[in-house]
Copies of this chain bind each other. A is one copy, B any other.
Amino acid sequence: MLKLYSFGPGANSLKPMLALYEKGSEFEQVLLNPAKFEHHSDWFKKINPRGQVPALEDRGKIITESTVICEYLEDEHPTDVKLRPGNSYDTAQMRVWTKWVDEYFCWCVSTIGWHRMVSKMVQDLTDEQFEAKLKDIPVYEQQVKWRRAREGFPQDLLDEEMRKIGYSVRRLDDHLADHEWLAGGVYSLADICNFAIANGMQHGFSELVNTSDTPHLVRWIEQINERPAVKKMFASVPHELRKDD
Protein backbone atom coordinates (compact mmCIF):
# COMPACT_ATOMS: atom_id res chain seq x y z
CA MET A 1 0.00 0.00 0.00
CA LEU A 2 1.08 3.60 -0.51
CA LYS A 3 2.64 5.18 2.55
CA LEU A 4 2.80 8.96 3.03
CA TYR A 5 5.28 10.48 5.45
CA SER A 6 4.21 14.00 6.39
CA PHE A 7 3.65 16.59 9.11
CA GLY A 8 -0.13 16.47 8.56
CA PRO A 9 -2.54 18.54 6.43
CA GLY A 10 -0.66 21.86 6.21
CA ALA A 11 1.89 23.47 3.87
CA ASN A 12 3.79 21.14 1.53
CA SER A 13 2.62 18.02 3.38
CA LEU A 14 -0.98 18.91 2.54
CA LYS A 15 -0.43 18.72 -1.23
CA PRO A 16 -0.03 14.96 -1.74
CA MET A 17 -2.26 14.19 1.25
CA LEU A 18 -5.18 16.12 -0.23
CA ALA A 19 -4.48 14.61 -3.66
CA LEU A 20 -4.77 11.13 -2.09
CA TYR A 21 -8.01 12.07 -0.28
CA GLU A 22 -9.50 13.59 -3.44
CA LYS A 23 -8.58 10.53 -5.48
CA GLY A 24 -9.98 8.24 -2.82
CA SER A 25 -6.73 6.26 -2.81
CA GLU A 26 -5.97 4.08 0.18
CA PHE A 27 -2.72 4.90 1.91
CA GLU A 28 -0.93 4.49 5.19
CA GLN A 29 -0.49 7.73 7.11
CA VAL A 30 2.87 8.25 8.87
CA LEU A 31 2.94 11.51 10.80
CA LEU A 32 6.28 12.94 11.85
CA ASN A 33 6.51 15.40 14.71
CA PRO A 34 8.40 18.54 13.65
CA ALA A 35 8.64 19.70 17.28
CA LYS A 36 10.67 16.56 17.98
CA PHE A 37 12.77 17.07 14.81
CA GLU A 38 11.72 13.62 13.62
CA HIS A 39 12.37 14.54 9.98
CA HIS A 40 16.05 14.95 10.86
CA SER A 41 16.28 11.57 12.59
CA ASP A 42 18.44 8.82 11.20
CA TRP A 43 15.51 6.52 10.46
CA PHE A 44 13.80 9.16 8.32
CA LYS A 45 16.98 10.25 6.56
CA LYS A 46 17.24 6.66 5.35
CA ILE A 47 13.93 7.34 3.58
CA ASN A 48 14.68 10.88 2.41
CA PRO A 49 18.36 11.81 2.77
CA ARG A 50 17.37 15.49 2.58
CA GLY A 51 15.40 15.13 5.82
CA GLN A 52 12.26 16.70 4.38
CA VAL A 53 8.60 15.76 4.29
CA PRO A 54 6.46 14.85 2.48
CA ALA A 55 7.79 11.60 1.05
CA LEU A 56 5.78 8.83 -0.58
CA GLU A 57 6.65 5.15 -0.43
CA ASP A 58 5.28 2.99 -3.21
CA ARG A 59 6.28 -0.67 -3.40
CA GLY A 60 9.64 0.03 -1.78
CA LYS A 61 10.44 3.10 -3.88
CA ILE A 62 10.53 6.59 -2.42
CA ILE A 63 9.26 9.67 -4.22
CA THR A 64 10.07 13.09 -2.75
CA GLU A 65 9.12 16.74 -3.38
CA SER A 66 5.44 17.52 -2.79
CA THR A 67 4.56 18.68 -6.31
CA VAL A 68 6.47 15.82 -7.93
CA ILE A 69 4.57 13.35 -5.71
CA CYS A 70 1.24 14.87 -6.83
CA GLU A 71 2.10 14.41 -10.52
CA TYR A 72 3.40 10.90 -9.77
CA LEU A 73 0.07 9.94 -8.22
CA GLU A 74 -1.70 11.07 -11.41
CA ASP A 75 0.79 9.19 -13.59
CA GLU A 76 0.98 5.95 -11.63
CA HIS A 77 -2.28 5.70 -9.71
CA PRO A 78 -5.00 7.20 -11.90
CA THR A 79 -8.55 7.02 -10.53
CA ASP A 80 -11.86 8.39 -11.80
CA VAL A 81 -10.98 11.68 -10.11
CA LYS A 82 -8.58 13.54 -12.42
CA LEU A 83 -6.44 16.22 -10.79
CA ARG A 84 -4.89 17.44 -14.03
CA PRO A 85 -6.95 19.25 -16.66
CA GLY A 86 -8.00 17.31 -19.73
CA ASN A 87 -5.68 18.90 -22.29
CA SER A 88 -2.02 19.81 -22.62
CA TYR A 89 -2.47 23.58 -22.72
CA ASP A 90 -4.47 23.68 -19.49
CA THR A 91 -2.04 21.23 -17.88
CA ALA A 92 0.76 23.64 -18.78
CA GLN A 93 -1.16 26.46 -17.08
CA MET A 94 -1.61 24.19 -14.06
CA ARG A 95 2.16 23.65 -13.97
CA VAL A 96 2.87 27.38 -14.20
CA TRP A 97 0.78 27.73 -11.01
CA THR A 98 2.34 24.78 -9.15
CA LYS A 99 5.79 26.04 -10.13
CA TRP A 100 4.93 29.51 -8.87
CA VAL A 101 3.91 28.15 -5.46
CA ASP A 102 7.15 26.20 -5.18
CA GLU A 103 9.43 29.01 -6.34
CA TYR A 104 7.76 32.10 -4.90
CA PHE A 105 4.56 31.93 -2.87
CA CYS A 106 5.58 29.17 -0.44
CA TRP A 107 8.92 30.78 0.42
CA CYS A 108 7.68 34.15 1.60
CA VAL A 109 4.88 32.57 3.63
CA SER A 110 7.32 30.04 5.03
CA THR A 111 9.75 32.67 6.32
CA ILE A 112 6.98 34.44 8.24
CA GLY A 113 5.73 31.08 9.52
CA TRP A 114 9.23 30.23 10.77
CA HIS A 115 9.55 33.68 12.32
CA ARG A 116 6.32 33.09 14.26
CA MET A 117 6.62 29.39 15.09
CA VAL A 118 10.03 27.81 14.64
CA SER A 119 11.68 30.66 16.53
CA LYS A 120 9.56 29.66 19.57
CA MET A 121 10.23 25.97 19.00
CA VAL A 122 13.98 26.40 19.44
CA GLN A 123 14.16 29.09 22.10
CA ASP A 124 14.04 26.59 25.00
CA LEU A 125 17.13 24.80 23.76
CA THR A 126 20.56 25.59 25.14
CA ASP A 127 23.21 26.61 22.60
CA GLU A 128 24.75 23.16 22.87
CA GLN A 129 21.42 21.43 22.29
CA PHE A 130 20.69 23.69 19.34
CA GLU A 131 24.08 23.11 17.70
CA ALA A 132 23.59 19.36 18.15
CA LYS A 133 20.20 19.60 16.38
CA LEU A 134 21.76 21.60 13.54
CA LYS A 135 24.29 18.84 12.90
CA ASP A 136 21.43 16.46 12.04
CA ILE A 137 20.10 18.73 9.27
CA PRO A 138 21.45 17.52 5.93
CA VAL A 139 20.60 20.58 3.77
CA TYR A 140 22.96 23.51 4.39
CA GLU A 141 20.36 26.18 3.54
CA GLN A 142 18.01 24.61 6.09
CA GLN A 143 20.73 24.86 8.73
CA VAL A 144 21.07 28.56 7.91
CA LYS A 145 17.31 29.03 8.18
CA TRP A 146 17.16 27.30 11.58
CA ARG A 147 19.99 29.48 12.81
CA ARG A 148 18.27 32.62 11.56
CA ALA A 149 15.01 31.54 13.17
CA ARG A 150 16.78 31.21 16.52
CA GLU A 151 18.70 34.48 16.20
CA GLY A 152 15.69 36.31 14.78
CA PHE A 153 15.20 37.08 11.09
CA PRO A 154 16.42 40.60 10.11
CA GLN A 155 13.55 43.08 9.92
CA ASP A 156 14.31 44.07 6.31
CA LEU A 157 13.99 40.42 5.27
CA LEU A 158 10.66 40.09 7.10
CA ASP A 159 9.41 43.31 5.45
CA GLU A 160 10.42 42.05 2.02
CA GLU A 161 8.72 38.68 2.61
CA MET A 162 5.52 40.47 3.68
CA ARG A 163 5.68 42.55 0.49
CA LYS A 164 5.91 39.33 -1.52
CA ILE A 165 2.99 37.80 0.36
CA GLY A 166 0.90 40.90 -0.38
CA TYR A 167 1.79 40.64 -4.06
CA SER A 168 1.04 36.90 -4.08
CA VAL A 169 -2.42 37.09 -2.55
CA ARG A 170 -3.38 39.94 -4.89
CA ARG A 171 -2.17 37.88 -7.84
CA LEU A 172 -4.34 34.95 -6.75
CA ASP A 173 -7.29 37.23 -6.06
CA ASP A 174 -7.03 38.92 -9.47
CA HIS A 175 -7.01 35.58 -11.24
CA LEU A 176 -9.83 34.12 -9.17
CA ALA A 177 -11.98 37.21 -9.80
CA ASP A 178 -13.02 35.76 -13.15
CA HIS A 179 -11.96 32.12 -12.83
CA GLU A 180 -13.66 29.60 -10.56
CA TRP A 181 -10.43 27.56 -10.41
CA LEU A 182 -6.82 28.42 -11.16
CA ALA A 183 -6.29 26.42 -14.37
CA GLY A 184 -8.43 25.06 -17.16
CA GLY A 185 -11.78 25.70 -15.52
CA VAL A 186 -11.44 22.63 -13.31
CA TYR A 187 -10.26 21.88 -9.77
CA SER A 188 -6.70 20.64 -10.24
CA LEU A 189 -3.27 20.31 -8.65
CA ALA A 190 -2.93 24.07 -9.26
CA ASP A 191 -5.68 24.62 -6.69
CA ILE A 192 -4.47 21.94 -4.28
CA CYS A 193 -0.88 23.21 -4.26
CA ASN A 194 -1.87 26.86 -3.81
CA PHE A 195 -4.50 25.98 -1.22
CA ALA A 196 -1.78 24.18 0.76
CA ILE A 197 -0.13 27.54 1.32
CA ALA A 198 -3.12 29.93 1.22
CA ASN A 199 -5.49 28.07 3.56
CA GLY A 200 -5.51 29.68 6.99
CA MET A 201 -4.13 33.00 5.74
CA GLN A 202 -7.61 34.50 6.27
CA HIS A 203 -6.75 34.05 9.99
CA GLY A 204 -2.93 34.26 10.18
CA PHE A 205 -2.62 37.07 7.62
CA SER A 206 -6.05 38.65 8.01
CA GLU A 207 -4.68 42.12 7.28
CA LEU A 208 -3.95 40.87 3.74
CA VAL A 209 -6.47 38.09 3.16
CA ASN A 210 -10.02 39.17 3.99
CA THR A 211 -13.39 39.65 2.35
CA SER A 212 -12.73 43.34 1.54
CA ASP A 213 -9.24 43.16 0.03
CA THR A 214 -9.21 39.66 -1.50
CA PRO A 215 -12.87 38.54 -1.73
CA HIS A 216 -12.21 36.11 -4.59
CA LEU A 217 -9.33 34.42 -2.82
CA VAL A 218 -11.46 34.04 0.33
CA ARG A 219 -14.34 32.61 -1.76
CA TRP A 220 -11.96 30.06 -3.30
CA ILE A 221 -10.44 29.07 0.07
CA GLU A 222 -13.93 28.56 1.53
CA GLN A 223 -15.09 26.67 -1.55
CA ILE A 224 -12.19 24.22 -1.25
CA ASN A 225 -12.81 23.81 2.49
CA GLU A 226 -16.37 22.73 1.67
CA ARG A 227 -15.22 19.81 -0.50
CA PRO A 228 -16.00 16.40 1.05
CA ALA A 229 -12.40 15.19 0.65
CA VAL A 230 -11.04 18.27 2.40
CA LYS A 231 -13.52 17.97 5.29
CA LYS A 232 -12.69 14.29 5.65
CA MET A 233 -8.94 15.00 5.65
CA PHE A 234 -9.13 17.73 8.30
CA ALA A 235 -11.49 15.61 10.43
CA SER A 236 -9.21 12.55 10.25
CA VAL A 237 -5.69 13.93 10.59
CA PRO A 238 -4.30 16.31 13.22
CA HIS A 239 -2.96 19.49 11.63
CA GLU A 240 0.50 19.11 13.11
CA LEU A 241 1.83 17.20 16.10
CA ARG A 242 3.06 19.34 19.01
CA LYS A 243 5.92 18.93 21.41
CA ASP A 244 3.93 16.90 23.93
CA ASP A 245 2.17 14.63 21.39
Contacts and interface: CB of A to CB of B under 8 A. Distances in A.
Interface of A: 58, 61, 63-65, 67-69, 71-72, 75-76, 88-89, 91-92, 95-96, 99, 102-103, 140, 167
22 contacts: A61-B89, A63-B89, A63-B92, A64-B96, A65-B95, A65-B96, A65-B99, A67-B95, A67-B99, A68-B92, A68-B95, A68-B99, A69-B92, A71-B91, A71-B92, A72-B88, A72-B91, A75-B88, A75-B91, A76-B88, A99-B102, A103-B103
A63 B90 CA distance: 10
Given A102-B103, A103-B103, A140-B167, A89 B72 contact: yes
A76 B91 CA distance: 10
Interface of chain A, helix or strand or loop or mixed? helix
A32 to B, nearest CB: 20
A15 to B, nearest CB: 13
Nearest to A77: B88
A167 to B, nearest CB: 7
Given A71-B92, A71-B95, A103-B103, 13 more contacts: A63-B92, A65-B95, A67-B95, A67-B99, A68-B96, A69-B92, A72-B88, A75-B88, A75-B92, A76-B88, A99-B102, A102-B103, A140-B167
Nearest to A67: B99
A169 B158 CA distance: 31
A85 B149 CA distance: 40
Contacts of A140: 167
Contacts of A102: 99, 103
Sorted nearest first, the 6 A-B pairs with minimum C-beta distance are A76-B88, A75-B88, A72-B92, A68-B95, A63-B92, A68-B92
Nearest to A107: B103
Nearest to A98: B68
A61 B88 CA distance: 11
Contacts of A71: 91-92, 95
Contacts of A65: 95-96, 99
Contacts of A64: 96
Contacts of A167: 140
